[in-house]
Amino acid sequence: DGKMGWKMGEIDIRDSGKKPVMLFLHGGSYMEGTGNMFDGSVLAAYGNVIVVTMNYRLGVLGFLSTGDQAAKGNYGLLDQIQALRWLNENVGHFGGDPQRITIFGSGAGAACVSLLILSHHSEGLFQKAIAQSGTAISSWSVNYQPLKYTRLLAAKVGCERADTGAAVECLRRQPFRALVDQDVQPARYHVAFGPVVDGDVVPDDPEILMQQGEFLNYDILIGVNQGEGLKFVEDSLESEDGISASYFDFTVSNFVDNLYGYPEGKDILRETIKFMYTDWWYVR
């Protein structure tokens, strides 16, 4: 009869049913990156889902904060929340199901995913979350000293003021390029401009919110990407002879001391990592 037959388990691409939606939040230490760096077409085709990428404000423009009402910060997170609101209202027109939205991201994007899980502002806007190589309790995910870095920036552009409101007003009068071009260096493994605990978008310390079970309304998948953390040891990768035992010990200790919180003690974690990442594990 000329009609195409479909076997059990096959997907009919003509199916007009609403598809699950996946919103990707890119990483980049809250300082760089764009949504269009990631091609969602393969995932959309193989997963039979609607894939959405987005941009959000970064660096000074997205996360500058004084820690008070002068500049509360978290503007990048608010962009993500607004994108979720838009999806809920409009994705149905593009074949998506607003009742099946998953947010996912890597690195800083994963931390944003984790923070959105804990924020009441995004409640009801998505149902599932995937955090790849980052969470809200990663040591670098939240800036606990926002005023320090805002004052450093203000000093670089001639906006030093004792009053935070006056400093922010001065910063707003500067050309945006003068602000984003400034090199404000954070401590290693931390960020100068990133999400903050503002009592609103991020209502409390993420660790406290997790202890309170604020994430229990979502299905969550957490994992890591290949090669995460390489930028911290990229200088050593140029050596054809590999790295020395002493450098390996130093690197592991440095990572453990700065990046990982472990309730049983850092010595145990340090030795466990060494055990797993040396030959002994494979030849025993």
What are 264-273's pLDDT values in tens digits?
Answer: 677 888 888 7
Q: How many residues does the chain have?
A: 284
**pLDDT for the residue 24:** 98
In this structure, what token pair is assigned to residue 139? 């040591």
d(CA 209, CA 33): 28
Given the DSSP bridges, would you call strands 219-223 and 50-53 parallel, antiparallel or unpaired? unpaired
Residues 6+ apart with CB under 8 A from 151: 160, 167
**pLDDT for the residue 236:** 65
**pLDDT for the residue 269:** 80
**pLDDT for the residue 189:** 77
Low-confidence ranges of the chain (pLDDT < 50): 1-4
Domain with CATH 3.40.50.1820 in the chain: 19-143+195-228
3-state secondary structure of 99: strand
Q: Amino acid identity, residue 103?
A: I
d(CA 58, CA 115): 16
For 196-219, the pLDDT digits (tens) are 999 999 999 999 999 999 888 899
Q: For residue 215, give the DSSP letter.
A: T
Residues 6+ apart with CB under 8 A from 194: 29, 30, 63, 108, 140, 141, 142, 143
43 with 51: CB under 8 angstroms?
yes
Residue 277 Cα to chain centre, angstroms: 26
**pLDDT for the residue 284:** 53
d(CA 61, CA 75): 8
Q: What homologous superfamily is domain 19-143+195-228 in, according to CATH? A: Alpha/Beta hydrolase fold, catalytic domain (3.40.50.1820)
**pLDDT for the residue 4:** 47
124 with 45: CB under 8 angstroms?
no
33 with 64: CB under 8 angstroms?
no
Residue 45 Cα to chain centre, angstroms: 25
